[in-house]
A and B are shown apart, each in its own frame.
Chain A
């Protein structure tokens, strides 16, 4: 993708987000999370097309695209889908694999260069 096409697609994404912000004043509140998800999906797709590849972002985009339209059919299913998506995000943060945190009163000094 050339610079001009990239700028055009970013402009379109910003336009989508700005217009969504305006329209959501009058639309069903359920469309708020839907637009945010869709914007995230569009952003990840744009990065993929720019060959900025992240397997975890691509996985999230695929999950978004597979489940986002449940907003049209079942608010309950949409809520469950959103929860599962947040769970998946946390999975991709690799939680619980860091070293143990500091205990109260035994704080490790942070070295300052």
Chain B
């Protein structure tokens, strides 16, 4: 798939068909994620993939932003102690979530190229999800990604450019 087509065609999917996603396909998505850049090449991200229906239901119970019934939920996490060791306070508080986001975008595009639907979820209770996934202290879930075969094709929201993009010097409102 052409990269621009993937970037422009990907949508947030919140309705999924009741079909499994093969484990090796999920592994491919993680492979795409870990080829994202990371600050200082820290690679302190961690991924936990939930596929058991009961576990997904438990995650959903404490994740108001998780809509629909996906075949898998991927928790994009960060080892905050490792991030601090590599990047200091900046690494822990800023670079870790940025790295997680960049990895997540790779994952979303790879999923779209395979015909999968995804949605990024930030609205979840971090402590509760951590318990459901057995995350130890210091491994922080940054984002959840629901993954499944799409049962909808939502339209693309418009993209604004005016007042948002400048060459050389900012020239917009404060």
Q: Is A75 an interface residue (CB 8 A)?
A: no
Contacts of B57 in A (CB 8 A): 8, 12
Q: Give the docked Cα–Cα distance between A23 and B62 (Å).
A: 10
Q: Mark B48-68, 1 if CB is under 8 A from A, else 0.
A: 000000000100111110010
| Per-residue contact bits, chain A 8-26, to B (CB 8 Å; 1 contact, 0 not) | 1001100110011011000
B contact set with A: CB distance below 8 Å: 12, 14, 57, 60-64, 67, 123-125, 128, 154, 157
Determine if A19 and B157 form an interchain contact, defined as CB atoms under 8 angstroms apart: no
Q: Is the CB of A69 within 8 A of B64?
A: no
Q: With A19-B128, A38-B64, A69-B14 given, can you name 11 additional A-B contacts, CB distance below 8 Å?
A: A8-B57, A11-B61, A12-B57, A12-B60, A15-B62, A19-B61, A22-B125, A23-B125, A27-B123, A31-B64, A73-B157
Q: Does A63 contact B (CB under 8 A)?
A: no
Q: How far is the CB of B110 from chain A (nearest CB, A)?
A: 23
A residues bordering B, Cβ < 8 Å? 8, 11-12, 15-16, 19-20, 22-23, 27, 31, 35, 38, 69, 72-73
A19-B14 in contact (CB<8A): no
Chain B, interface SS category: loop
Cβ contacts under 8 Å, A12 to chain B? 57, 60-61
Q: Which residue of A lies closest to B157 (CB)?
A: A73
Residues of A contacting B14 with CB < 8 Å? 69
Q: Are A35 and B64 closer than 8 Å at their CB atoms? A: yes
Contacts of A73 in B (CB 8 A): 157
Nearest B residue (CB) for A24: B64
List the A residue with the shortest CB-CB distance to B158: A73
Complex interface: chain A residues within 8 A of B61 (CB): 11-12, 15-16, 19
Question: CA separation between A59 and B31, bound complex, in Å?
Answer: 44
- Which residue on chain A has the smallest CB distance to residue B54? A8
CA of A31 to CA of B123 in the docked complex: distance in angstroms?
Answer: 10
Evaluate contact between A20 and B60: CB separation under 8 angstroms. no
Chain B contacts for A19, CB-based, 8 A: 61-64, 124-125, 128
